[in-house]
Amino acid sequence: MRRRLLTGLLVVCAALSPARAEHGAKAEKREPAKKEEKKDEKGKAPEHKITQSESYLMLDPIYTTIVADNRPTGLLMIGMGLDVPDAKLREDVERSLPVLRDAYVRNLLAYTVAAVRIDTQPDVGIIAGRLQAVTDRALKKKGATVLIAQMALRAK
């Protein structure tokens, strides 16, 4: 009686199990269900766009340390992007982004140490002018416009 009950339970478990029995003792593993991504007509997942403009390139925010009395007293954060209407120049800018970012960080570090204090608002016009000069110098031509999206100070 026990043997029949165990055999019946095994049959029921095998029927309800998500894995199928194969060659007696081995079981075939089932792949987990993948999430369905929304795709367009071409089969690609949609990209997240910041703006509808084709010429705008957004950069990651740049953080620099504000120093007073030889101690760090806060952070300056600058969020920016580049407007590059010329397609060929835009390709050059995309390829040169690591060099541009390095030049921006170096220039802003020097400016922050010399001119930015935690108790006064930094001059956005001067910073934008410095970043534009760095961009023109790094690309060796004009045509990419620096657009500052946000600027913030954080005191420690």
Domains of the chain: residue spans and CATH: 56-155 (3.30.479)
Give pLDDT, residue 63. Answer: 96
| Tens digit of pLDDT at every position of the chain (156 positions) | 444 444 443 444 444 444 444 444 444 455 555 555 566 566 777 665 666 678 999 999 999 999 999 999 999 999 999 999 999 999 999 999 999 999 999 999 999 999 999 999 999 999 999 999 999 999 999 999 999 999 999 998
User: Which run of H or of E encompasses 94?
Assistant: helix 87-95
Q: Is 15 exposed, middle or buried (0-12, 13-18, 19+ CB in 10 A)?
A: exposed
Give pLDDT, residue 44. Answer: 73
pTM of the predicted model, to two decimals? 0.67
Give pLDDT, residue 52. Answer: 65
**Cα(27)–Cα(22) distance, rounded to whole angstroms?**
5
**How are beta strands 71-83 and 62-68 bridged, if at all?**
antiparallel
**What does the radius of gyration of the chain's CA atoms come to, in whole angstroms?**
29
Give pLDDT, residue 5. Answer: 40
